[in-house]
Chain A
Amino acid sequence: MSDLTKLTIAAARDGLAKGDFSSRELTAAHITAMTASKPLNAYITETPEQAVDAATASDARRAKGEAGKLEGIPLAIKDLFCTKGVLTTAASHILDGFTPHYESTVTANLWGAGAVMLGKVNLDEFAMGSSNETSYYGNVVNPWRRDGDESALVPGGSSGGSASAVASFSAMGATGTDTGGSIRQPASFTGIVGMKPTYGRCSRWGVVAFASSLDQPGPMARTVRDIAIMLESMAGFDAKDSTSVNMPVPNFENALTGDIKGLRIGIPKEYRIDGLSDEIDALWQKGIDWLKDAGAEIVDISLPHTKYALPAYYIIAPAEASSNLARYDGVRFGLRVEGKDLNDMYASTRAEGFGDEVKRRLLIGTYALSAGYYDAYYLKAQKVRARIAEDFRQAYLNVDAILTPTAPSAAFGFGEKGDDPLEMYLNDVFTVPASLAGLPGISVPAGLSKEGLPLGLQLLGKPFDEETVFRVAGVLEEAAGFTAKPTDWWRG
């Protein structure tokens, strides 16, 4: 049998339906790949026995004619989603031993559709990072390397384990979460597809909270079609999430018509930032040409407040995090470090349990919300955010979707952006504005850098118009014809 791990979700679905192979076989092939991928450190917790049991149950359902939309498909789950009976860490020391007694809505939806969990994948601690260098469980390694160079590269972040697992063929797809670019940027760094849906499309219930007005779960996989298949099962109204939106979930796969004639695609001039590398600029131009050749109309647009998105984000996200992460107090779950009194126990637990980047953001957030500074920082940032959202509203009066690069560079090496947090934050310069505005966005692999590393292009859509995003992304993917794969050096 050919290597089942190289199949797309769509092809595996068809093969399973035809009886070419069973979920047990498909799952076993992925467990072997997962075990062989240890040098990448993509997984925090592997659950091979449960995966085999789930695959066996899936095959039984199929035999009874009860196959769901993701029946028998093995997936990796970002370790930010609570999974009943399986360690859930958020890649933080402070959640030591935390084993939820409940299942997140998104993962429950996936299991309801028949999917199989392979394990829980690594991430930046509490999803705070753009390189997966802040995990308590160690760095995740990108399966891609520069041509002729064996040095390890970051997979991006925060969904770095998800990206590395999918790009190294140890999972057919993975869940991610995106607060400021945490699905799209690692997808770009690893040559896969990743989508942040519209805020409110996927339930946040049971997802460890970082910044609640920005967090949004989404799918990561190797093709646009696979993303459409996954999102349809992940999305849906959930009464347990107060910002879940009660709208029907379309059949996203049907949106992949291949026809974008007459669609208007906006090109925002403010994304042509100072110092944008020539190759990113050239790739962006290629993307423009591909869409134009497919019959789309290219429209120059302006999003004037773009440059203020990052600083606004780095007030809003830490402020919300400082409130959300107050729950880690050594009392209800996870780590406890004893102290001389209650306050000392709190402060000692949090000092030992949180890593440096998390502490930095909690202090910024606490300061931004503290008496006397709330108006100057938090309120100001929320007003700037309103102006950024208004920029997009105006633009969408005239265009159907927006095309930009996903990230300002290809994957970089470990420690290359370590000294100055601001340099790291710039990774999200193209992804954060849509996060602040709550818009859907997808990263599609579009080419290789001169060093042989994948580069992505980003498409943004109108709120709850993922279908147009998919429609354009399908055409972009087809035109780019990205078929490069990393060599599987990690198999030794």
Chain B
Amino acid sequence: MSLDKATVAKVANLARIKIEEKDLEPMAAELNNILGWVEQLGEVDTDNVEPMTSVAEMRLRWRADEVTDGGYVEDVVANAPGGEDGYFAVPKVIE
């Protein structure tokens, strides 16, 4: 599998990272270099192997569904660029 320029542009859009047109080709080459090296995973027999989803052998803990935290809007929005009056602010999305 080899990435072309168009695929890199698509992936960059999915990742919400703007990449200049002139940088797409070099980025494709870099990513192909890494993906080409990763191809060797294909040599490993993983038939009937369950993917590892947890490092420690444990079940995720359950707890009662109740409010245990909250009530400090000021702290939550304190670091927001452009936020005001206890709200996050984004550019206008509806005309």
Contacts and interface: CB of A to CB of B under 8 A. Distances in A.
B91 interface: yes
Contacts of B27: 360, 363
A11 interface: no
A383 B58 contact: no
Contacts of B77: 332
A333 B80 CA distance: 4
A344 B17 CA distance: 9
Q: How large is the interface on A (under 10, 10 to 19, 20 to 34, 35 or more residues)?
A: 35 or more
A384 interface: yes
A370 interface: yes
A242 B33 contact: no
Interface stretch (A159-167, A346-354, A445-453): A346-354
B11 A366 contact: yes
A55 interface: no
A334 B38 contact: no
Contacts of A332: 77, 79-80, 88
B41 A348 contact: no
A383 B42 CA distance: 11
Contact of A331 (B42, B58, B75, B88): B88
A48 interface: no
Contact of B16 (A305, A334, A347): A347
Contacts of A214: 55
Nearest to A336: B81
Interface in A195-215: 198-200, 213-214
Interface stretch (A61-69, A139-147, A291-299, A309-317): A309-317
Contact of A363 (B31, B46, B76, B89): B31
Interface in A365-379: 366-367, 370, 373, 376-377, 379
B44 A350 contact: no
A117 to B, nearest CB: 20
B82 to A, nearest CB: 6
Nearest to B47: A383
A242 B53 contact: no
Contact of B44 (A322, A338, A384, A438): A384
Q: Which of A213, A245, A334, A384 has the most chain B CB atoms inside 10 A of its CB?
A: A384
A60 B82 CA distance: 42
Interface string B11-53: 1111111110000000100110111011011111010011111
A362 interface: yes
Contact of A308 (B3, B17, B44): B44
B56 A198 contact: yes
A420 interface: yes
Contacts of B88: 331-332
Interface string A90-108: 0000000111111000000
B48 to A, nearest CB: 10
Contact of B41 (A336, A345, A364, A384): A384
The 4 closest A-B pairs by CB, nearest first: A438-B55, A382-B51, A383-B46, A333-B79
Interface of A: 97-102, 198-200, 213-214, 239, 242-243, 245, 305, 307-308, 311-312, 314-315, 322, 326, 329-336, 338-339, 341-348, 350-351, 354, 359-360, 362-364, 366-367, 370, 373, 376-377, 379-387, 389, 420-422, 436-438, 463
23 contacts: A99-B78, A198-B56, A243-B55, A311-B40, A330-B81, A333-B79, A338-B91, A342-B91, A342-B93, A345-B91, A350-B18, A351-B19, A362-B17, A363-B8, A363-B12, A363-B17, A373-B1, A380-B41, A380-B42, A383-B52, A385-B51, A386-B49, A389-B55
